[in-house]
Structure 1
């Protein structure tokens, strides 16, 4: 019995022939591809670049930093533009950091890079800037084993269990460290703010900072120091732990607000600066072989460096303020001179315009005198008297016949009168616009 394909033999034969031709063509193409693959050279995997060890990298950067310092020192104004510097594979910030350790760095100076040409510019200038850390003497800060009497600010830290940022078992150690800092600050004559000093102002807000454990009063600003415990890794969210709202409320506020469990490590960290929430906060913590108690001298070294920086900033601000005041006073003097000059010119222009009007009136007066000649004698006499009065008024008003008009009396200008001549300055002071 024939199949359906056998019953369609003539048509099926033509289709099969075309199908066999296409399969043969595909097989030939695959064979050629396999042959090309076999004849192609075998690519060996590229070896990853070997990074030099950290000590060798630091030594290389230090050498590059010393060369850069030498180039800056050899310039006339001790400045180098980025166009004149080819750092090659070195990174600028890494070299600037190593420049602090360079043997040829001038005492009290450090190498910095400042952008020039606007915020979007990629050009910068390498020059020296004050390095106040060179002028700071590091002194050891002892930490007592036992404390007989705590500073009121430290007492406040120990009493406020809600916001200690340290687990219960490590609070005594944190308190001894804070007491050591408070005692050293008092020994140096630095006032430590008392907790009662933080009083609300008339708007209900605290006029002094609320964060931080110790705040030191200075001539420039308040300087804060706080201590916190570093959390361990692997903490989970409260929701993942299945904690209820009632269970969370029993936790200290500083842990509850995190939203994550706190894994105690016992490692403490000190944050210091004028704003403990900002990027300028400096940190110091327990190390592998060094406890935080052995690093408290660094806390005061940073504080002393900050004091020198603030003193320099204030000095520069005073210089800038004096320069601004002098420029404002000079601008006021120039504005007054310009004002009087403009007012005198306006007065002169007014006299000139008055003279032109008077000339017109004088010409009309001459015609009037001729016109009254035809009047009867009695009327001519009366008209002549009137024109004589007009002639006297014209002579009085004419600056050419009354030279006292060329002595203008200009009153002192008001502040608003000087605004057009101050070129952006305010007549009310150097800081007002």
Structure 2
């Protein structure tokens, strides 16, 4: 990979002495990373022409290390000769950039850079574990909320059946009272009213009585209604902010 960078004239565009030093820095970093058992890959990120770098993978976490000339436009020979090594995807409060110092060169900081990569991998694993635990806890809470919502939605289904039956029963009771009154009226007019009118009234009474029996839910023994699986829309009013589609979605 370092050789590929060396042969790529579009990368590490800088004075030849600085370019050679940059390549040696990356070579030293790669060698130490491999010695520690880590995988080094061709960098997946795109670079500016003045940069070059590699990806270092530690315990499933990949970090991009780049090197570049710090002050390419400077006319001061000392400033223009400085390099900077950067670690991509910096985290708040963690170091991610190293420069030459009076008491330590970048070559001497390679172990520190790899140590930072290792620290980030540990932190990343801890964060991933916490996220997995949080997702698991959220899943448990969501499932519990779904169970309660399903019970309440089914309860509402049965309550709706009850309301409908109660409405039919009230209607049947009112119509039954009418039939009783009509029967009394017919009986009171026997021999006094026209026979044809009485016959018509009796036929109307027979039909009305049959209709009342047909709509009266208590004309037979009511059975426990069948409930069905509630739809997502039926569950929403009882989920208290949870989504019926999954624990990761908003209600």
Under TM normalisation by the shorter chain, which class is it?
0.7 to 0.9
Structure 1: segments with no counterpart, 5+ residues = 1-151, 196-207, 232-254
Q: Please report how far the alpha carbon of residue 382 of structure 1 lies from its aligned counterpart in structure 2 after TM superposition.
A: 5.7
Q: Hey, what does 1:216 align to over in structure 2?
A: 56
> Which residue of structure 2 aligns with residue 268 of structure 1?
83
RMSD, matched Cα: 2.7
Task: Report if the CA contact (8 A) 2:179-2:209 is conserved.
Answer: yes
Q: In the alignment, which residue of structure 2 is the partner of 1:157?
A: 5
Q: With structure 1 as the length reference, what TM-score do the two structures score?
A: 0.50
The within-5 A match list for 1:69-80 is: none
Aligned pairs for 1:349-364 within 5 A: 349-364=163-178
For residue 135 of structure 2, the aligned residue among 321, 334, 348 is: 321
Q: Is the 8 A contact 2:95 2:116 kept in 1?
A: no
CA–CA distance in 2 between the matches of 1:414 and 1:357?
Answer: 31
SS at match of 2:222: helix
Cα displacement (A) at 1:214: 1.0
Q: Distance in 2 between matches of 1:165 and 1:314?
A: 38
- Deviations along 1:34-92, one digit per CA (max 9) or x if unpaired, are xxxxxxxxxxxxxxxxxxxxxxxxxxxxxxxxxxxxxxxxxxxxxxxxxxxxxxxxxxx
Shift of residue 381, structure 1, vs aligned partner: 4.7
- 1:281 Cα offset (Å): 5.7
Is structure 2 residue 229 aligned with structure 1 residue 229? no
The match for 1:194 is: 42
Closer/same/farther in 2, CA of residues 280 and 262 from structure 1, 3 Å limit: farther
Residues 1:285 and 2:99 are matched in the alignment: yes
Match in the other structure for 2:239 = 422
1: CA distance, partners of 2:205 / 2:61: 82
Task: Tell me: CA distance 1:262–1:352, structure 2 relative to 1, closer, same or farther (3 Å).
Answer: farther
5+ residue gaps, structure 2, are none
> 1:388 and 1:379 mapped to 2: Cα distance?
14
Aligned match of 2:26? 178
State which drifts further: 371-380 or 414-423. Answer: 371-380
- Aligned-partner Cα distance in 2 for 1:369–1:396: 19
Are the aligned partners of 1:227 and 1:268 in contact in 2 as well (CA < 8 Å)?
A: yes
Equivalent position to 1:344, from 137, 140, 158:
158
User: How big is the shift at 1:427?
Assistant: 1.2
- The answer (yes or no) to whether the contact 2:183–2:205 under 8 Å persists in 1 is yes
Total equivalences in the alignment = 240
Partner of 1:305: 119
Quick one: higher RCO (CA 8 Å, sep 6+), 1 or 2?
2
CA offset digits 1:301-341 (Å, max 9, x no partner): 11111111011001100100000111111111011011112
Distance change in 2, residues 1:218/1:391 (3 Å): farther
